Structure 1
Amino acid sequence: MDDKELRTFSVSESLKDQRLDQALVKAGIVSSRSQGQKWIQQDLVTVNGYKEKASYKLQDGDKIEVFVPAKIDIELVPYDFPLEIIFEDDDVIVVNKPAGLVVHPAAGHASDTLVNALLAHQIKLSKGSEEFRPGLVHRIDKGTSGLLVLAKNEAAHNHLAKQFLKKTIHRRYWALCFSGPKKDQGTIEGFIKRDPANRKRFVHSDKPDDGKRAVTHFKVVKRESLFSLLELTLETGRTHQIRVHLSHIHCPIVGDDLYNGTKIARSLKNQTLKKLILEMERFSLHAKELGFIHPKTGDRLFFETPIPIDLHSLFQLSGFSDVL
């Protein structure tokens, strides 16, 4: 995994029957059980190549792998970047994030992020629950465009976080994918975990104890010979969820190199379309709709954005110009 150090140790007699989080402390990997639990929750710890709960009792000979996050020296500084602000008041701000912009600072992106851009616009955000992630109650990937809501104070942050927890936030995406699902609408359900063979990726599993539950509802907007345009609604919000689910049903998102969305493009006969997809610096996933209850007024707010201009050529060449 990028920017992470791999630490490995085997369970000896002294660690046998210990909880996994306790063993991480005793092995000197983390300073506290809470830190160990956080890393386990973030899929940074595996036992014999599999994810286990913090309460897992270690057995003699178990092999523990820990991907230790790199320590990064980050100072939140303003980033001069134009933003499309859809809505703003004293409590929340809704932005239309362009593809290519990382949401919050991390290793490799210390200052060129959405959070830094909001600071440049002199927008005050809530402290948030994690360092360097002020205002954030949800995220979308760097290669995804679309709507994102951020909290401007702690009361708003807590209120929005509870809405996400209760699954009352409305989030709808559009994705242009290769092929298409067999049914015109349906649900993809299962469990998502990190791919042991490639820590940048996540994979689908049908085993309840093998990842985090993930549910995506889909509806086909339009089909063409090689592509389908899907409308996707999230019931859960796991990392890479839509990308993993569509790859799992053999309908990878066009341009998504991590989940086979460019591999298929190499066999296209249309050279113009093939070149366009292979040179894309994003994938064709857009967070099109967002709805939530305003933390202070109680009003139900709804926002919608069109397909961004940087996807227009792809939509036109693949037969979807009528939806732009």
Structure 2
Amino acid sequence: MSETSAKSSAPAGDVRQFTVGADDDGIRLDRWFKRHMPDTSFNVVSRWARTGQLRVDGKRATPGDRIEAGQQIRVPPAEAPAPATARPKRERPPLSADEIDFAQSMVIHRDKAALVVNKPPGLATQGGTKTEKHLDGLLDALQFEAEGRPKLVHRLDKDTSGALLLARNARAAGHFAKAFSSRTARKVYWALITGVPSIEDGMIELPIAKQPGTGGEKMHVDEKEGLPARTRYRVIERAGNRAAWVELQPYTGRTHQLRVHLAAIGHPIVGDGKYGGPDAFLSGGISRKMHLHARRIRVDHPDGGTIDVTADLPGHIAESLGHLGFDVALGDALPLDEVKFSETAEGKRRAVTAAAKARRKERRGERRGRGRG
């Protein structure tokens, strides 16, 4: 979440305005409230929606609406706290010894401000309908010596494995959220794809939107309504024309971006039947699981320096790469793209401001010229 998605600038008792952060792009509005205003019950949110007090970009909204990064959420003034006789908030059940051991076994980096875990495939980042086992439910096991449980600052799809950053305090959470929203954090993914792209080092720039009729659960390329999305890819090795092992670096953070982009250019990620259909599977003993892994994450540390962590491959991807004769060392030898300031959110904001200022200056010059004539 961005700083503006977590705080409201309105004084107490006034209508509050929030901006949807990049890490909340595509989630339901009721899920946003659960993340950022957990003390606001679903019944209250529903009542606000029924009475027209809850709005997104000025339009009436319902709890089930999907929201997008950059949208403005209008929330009514805070209500008086419920009386002491109200039913107490349900507490999280205590974790078993096995759950604690499992959660702590995922940790691959730990310092005072951050943790990085290597999330296994099949484990959801957060709960939802019919999703009872998830990383968010295991965070009590990762408190260690900190005062509270760590906080999620970005997500991975359930079937995507790899490096996931957690903040250990509110200050670090704000710092990392800003890094993700401004795109100064760098994420490197490895994927096994079907076929081989004709261009081995390229940029996919295709806008992405929610696919109608799927309830927002599936995305697609939409040239008219889609949000801008950019993915850098590089072919590391190829197995004839059958498959390729690629490195992916997302320059934007759209829901299912990597999966949608690779499928759109005709080379779906192996195991991604949702976007690639039958063409997403290889014969010859290659696993049918998703072959997408967050290999590396690099982000500035809130106390100075850099967090730069690499996550080992899960068994099925390591086996597939070995089966196809690929050398894992080749993937880590590729240099990491450096972020240009002009590509960050702050850089783009300054560029827009400068362009507007130049236009105003030009118009003033035109007016003076007409006066002299």
* Normalised TM-score (structure 1): 0.70
Match of 2:305 in 1: 299
Q: CA deviation at 1:318?
A: 3.1
What is the rounded CA distance, in whole Å, between the counterparts of 1:37 and 1:30 in structure 2? 9
Alignment of 1:1-16 (within 5 A): none
What is the rounded CA distance, in whole Å, between the counterparts of 1:77 and 1:30 in structure 2? 36
Match of 1:256 in 2: 272
Q: Are 1:113 and 2:103 an aligned pair?
A: no
Of 295, 307, 320 in structure 1, the residue corresponding to residue 326 of structure 2 is 320
Q: CA deviation at 1:74?
A: 7.3
Q: Which moved more, 1:176-185 or 1:26-35?
A: 26-35
Q: Are 1:221 and 2:221 an aligned pair?
A: no
State the superposition RMSD in angstroms.
Answer: 3.1
Q: CA deviation at 1:106?
A: 1.9
1:272-300 alpha-carbon deviations (Å, 9 max, x no partner): 42xx43xx3x30000001000111x2112
Q: CA deviation at 1:32?
A: 1.1
Matched position secondary structure for 2:163: strand
What is the rounded CA distance, in whole Å, between the counterparts of 2:130 and 2:203 in structure 1? 35
Letter in 2 for 1:307: L
* Normalised TM-score (structure 2): 0.61
1:90-144 alpha-carbon deviations (Å, 9 max, x no partner): 211111111111111222223x1112222134456878xxxxxx61111010101
Task: Give the helix-richer structure, 1 or 2.
Answer: 2
Equivalent residues of 1:98, 1:146 under 8 A apart: yes
Match of 1:85 in 2: 107
Q: Are 1:235 and 2:251 an aligned pair?
A: yes
| Distance change (3 Å), C-alpha of 1:125 and 1:25 | same
Matched position secondary structure for 2:171: helix
Equivalent residues of 1:78, 1:118 under 8 A apart: no
Moved over 3 A (4+): 24-27, 37-41, 73-79, 121-127, 321-324
What is the rounded CA distance, in whole Å, between the counterparts of 1:165 and 1:322 in structure 2? 31
Aligned length: 257
Structure 1 regions of 5+ residues with no counterpart? 5-23, 44-52, 56-72, 128-133
What is the rounded CA distance, in whole Å, between the counterparts of 1:231 and 1:76 in structure 2? 38
| Distance change (3 Å), C-alpha of 1:290 and 1:205 | same
Equivalent residues of 2:121, 2:314 under 8 A apart: no
Of 155, 168, 179 in structure 1, the residue corresponding to residue 184 of structure 2 is 168
1:15-50 alpha-carbon deviations (Å, 9 max, x no partner): xxxxxxxxx99983875115829865526xxxxxxx
Matched position secondary structure for 2:229: strand
What is the rounded CA distance, in whole Å, between the counterparts of 1:322 and 1:151 in structure 2? 30
Equivalent residues of 1:187, 1:216 under 8 A apart: yes
Of 113, 124, 132 in structure 2, the residue corresponding to residue 102 of structure 1 is 124
Please tell me whether Structure 1 or Structure 2 has the larger radius of gyration of its CA atoms.
Answer: 2
Match of 1:143 in 2: 159
Q: CA deviation at 1:247?
A: 0.4
Match of 1:21 in 2: none
Equivalent residues of 1:288, 1:305 under 8 A apart: yes
What is the rounded CA distance, in whole Å, between the counterparts of 2:55 and 2:108 in structure 1? 41
What is the rounded CA distance, in whole Å, between the counterparts of 2:260 and 2:231 in structure 1? 10
Letter in 2 for 1:201: K
Of 267, 273, 284 in structure 1, the residue corresponding to residue 291 of structure 2 is 284
- Residue identity over aligned pairs, in percent, reads 33
Task: Give the strand-richer structure, 1 or 2.
Answer: 1
Letter in 1 for 2:314: P
Letter in 1 for 2:126: H
Q: CA deviation at 1:75?
A: 4.9
